[in-house]
Amino acid sequence: MNPNFTWDDLQFFLAVARTGQLSTAARRLRTSHATVSRRIDRLEFALKVKLFERNPRGYVLTALGQRFVETAERIERETEQLQLDISDGATAQRGVVRLSTLEGFGNFFLADRLGDFASRYPNISLELVAIQQIMALSRKEADIAVSLAAPKAGPYHAEVLAPYTLHVYGSRSYLARHPLIRTRNDLASHRFVGYIEDMIFAPGLDYLGEVQPGLRAHFQSSSILAQLKATCQGLGLCVLPYYMASNEPDLEIVLPGEIELKRTYWLICHRDLMAVPRVRVVRDFLVDVVKENGGCFLRERPPHMAGQQRPLEV
């Protein structure tokens, strides 16, 4: 290893390799665009090789740069493991981990439990991005993702995090003002709240056609929070996750014995990041906190409903 550069230089290299952008790498490293550029130039000068091709879209690894990623990541893992060996495990973990989640999981489940994470790992800076459609694991814009589907291919580790149920909800005020709903067919005469159709970025979020073919949302929003608030205010019926809507005392499930959708949250990470201790810590925390609170994701059907029509499943 050339003595003219330091481990810090490798951290800058990995940040740019994982994001492809100086500005993004600078934000993750809590430094400036110019500093990142200077460190990359210094590393290339010290190694006497070109690690990146510069183009208008960003920094793209050369063939040598791609090979150097493996070496740098091995050094990263060994450095962090050494810190663990000589220090207390929790306080030794340090660095930034970016977690991309769906809005519902991030804001209505995980956010309430971040205090526990911070107390266990005070030196890890967790970046929670709840706008998943703009994050791409393939471009390493996030370290870990919680998503509705596992990748069909690629260098990813994917595991089931939690199954959850969704139901049609309406506010007590809305249900009192509108015709009684006895069957699915009655839903066609009611107003619905839902996602903006041409902005649905994951097939698993396309609910209304599953509930009843031909249903369309009268009030549409890309935000599940806005949909929840609109439903509470009586704008219409809405398909909502049980773990979100069950905390709203004014909401009631419509046709509880007949309509139930099921989805699954998946935890996804690049295989080459799973061995990085700080990333592994976040993964383990997510798995543990979901396991500890698993009952909140699924609505248990009362015994008298056990023989009724099968719920809708995916």
pLDDT tens track for 116-152: 999 999 989 999 988 766 555 655 678 899 999 998 8
Q: What is the mean pLDDT of residues 262-288?
A: 91
3-state secondary structure of 99: strand
What average pLDDT does this structure show over 188-196?
A: 96
The pLDDT value recorded for residue 268 is: 94
* 128 phi, psi to nearest 5 deg: -100, 115
End-to-end alpha carbon distance in the chain: 52
Does 48 lie in the same domain as 167?
A: no
Q: Is residue 15 part of a domain?
A: yes
The tens digit of pLDDT for each residue in 20-59 reads: 889 888 888 888 989 999 999 999 998 999 999 998 888 9
Provide the pLDDT for residue 314: 30
β-partners of residue 145 are: 100, 268
Residues spanned by the domain of 202: 161-264+297-305
Q: Is residue 255 part of a domain?
A: yes
Q: Domain ends where: 60, 86, 112?
A: 86
Q: Is residue 13 part of a domain?
A: yes
pLDDT cut 90: percent of the chain above it? 59
Following DSSP, what letter does each residue of 186-221 receive, concatenated?
GGGGS-EEE--GGG--SGGG--HHHHSTT---SEE-
The values of phi and psi at residue 266, to 5°, are -110, 140
Look at residues 58, 86, 114 and tell me which one is the last residue of a structural domain: 86
Question: How far is Cα 55 from Cα 108, in angstroms, rounded to an integer?
Answer: 40
Of 67, 86, 105, which residue constitutes the final position of a domain?
86
> Are 184 and 301 in a shared domain?
yes
Give the domain CATH number at 194.
Answer: 3.40.190.10
The number of domains in the chain is 2
